[in-house]
Amino acid sequence: MPTTVAVVHDPIPPLPSGDVADTLDQVQIVSAALRELGYDAPAVPFALDAAGLARTLRDLSAACAFNLVESVEGRGDIIFLAPTFFELAGVPFTGCDRHAMYLTTEKVRAKVIMETGGLPTPGWVSVDGARAFRPGRYIVKATSEDASIGLADDPLVDAREVGDLLRAIHARSRAHGFPFFAEQYLDSREFNVSLLGGRSGCEVLPPCEILFEGFRERGLPAIYAYNAKWDPDAARGISRTTRFLGRDRDLIRTLEELARSCWDLFGLSGWARVDFRLDPEGRPMILEVNPNPSLAADASFMEAATARGLSLVDVVRALVEAAGCRLWG
């Protein structure tokens, strides 16, 4: 009888928005990869009914949970509850543990940790204070949401003083119902580095550069706002493409070292992605650390995995093995 790996995910509404539809796509392709590896792969929605969820997993005799949870009750700030549940229930699971998820999901908290750990990150302003404020242009973004949720078409604010940013932060927070902060905007090249954990440790996948084609021609900042990312009409005339770095060995080495430092500092596991932009001196600055990033074929993680010669089946196999998949006793 095949071993069961439950694909645990956000509940999918009948008419999902673009970011939620991406979750559905991941559920389908990961389930297909697991079946190709010989597992049963039922999809299981995550809910705050811990007893009911534990009963469902036990009834399925699930040996492991493949964690694709990106929000809990529509909130990105509490996604650490998914790995917390798996840990308390004694269910092996893929990806980052509750500690790493808690530290990285709240972006201001993560930036404080990076700064304390000696890793470079742009200055910021939040309702709790400012770090390295200087007059200039800032991007106002959600504190704990991913997939560009809450990122306006023009998220930039020109600030002469901290109060300019606090007003923008409060306005966006009231409008969306979740907290925002402001980060120094670096109008420069953007990169990301994906990392894959396995039994033999962390593998750093090829760093790639994000290209914002058509943005400047349309007078847009080089930022993938929510509409540009998920609305085909809004994205007409612009596109997201990537290219892998070739000859700039010093830049590649620095990006890889910083990404691995994030893996160690936050105690990441499974799979992750670290996002960067260059400061005015050309030095990489860490924007965000993303646990369990999208496994969709057109997302950065799988593009980097493909460049390394890994298929989705290879990635899924590595993640399930790293989770220590076992049979329920």
Q: What is the pLDDT of residue 271?
A: 97
For residue 327, pLDDT beyond 70: no
Strand stretches in the chain, DSSP E: 4-9, 43-45, 62-68, 124-126, 129-131, 136-142, 156-159, 180-184, 190-198, 201-204, 208-213, 239-244, 271-278, 284-291
Give the tens place of pLDDT for each residue, 88-143: 999 999 999 999 999 999 999 999 999 999 999 999 999 988 788 899 999 999 99
Fold of 188-315: D-amino Acid Aminotransferase; Chain A, domain 1 (3.30.470)
Q: What is the pLDDT of residue 233?
A: 67
Q: What is the pLDDT of residue 224?
A: 80
Q: What is the pLDDT of residue 217?
A: 83
- Total-model pTM: 0.93
CATH architecture entry for 4-95? 3-Layer(aba) Sandwich (3.40)
- Convert 8-29 to b/e letters by CB count within 10 Å (16 or more is b): bbbeeeeeeeebbebbbbbbeb
CA distance 189 to 219: 17
Give the tens place of pLDDT for each residue, 5-35: 999 998 877 776 767 778 889 999 999 999 9
Where are the chain's structural domains?
A: 4-95, 121-184, 188-315
pLDDT, average across residues 145-151: 71
pLDDT, average across residues 56-83: 93
Judge whether 144 and 151 are in contact, CB under 8 Å. no
Q: Say which DSSP state 170 is in.
A: H
Strand stretches in 235-310, DSSP E: 239-244, 271-278, 284-291
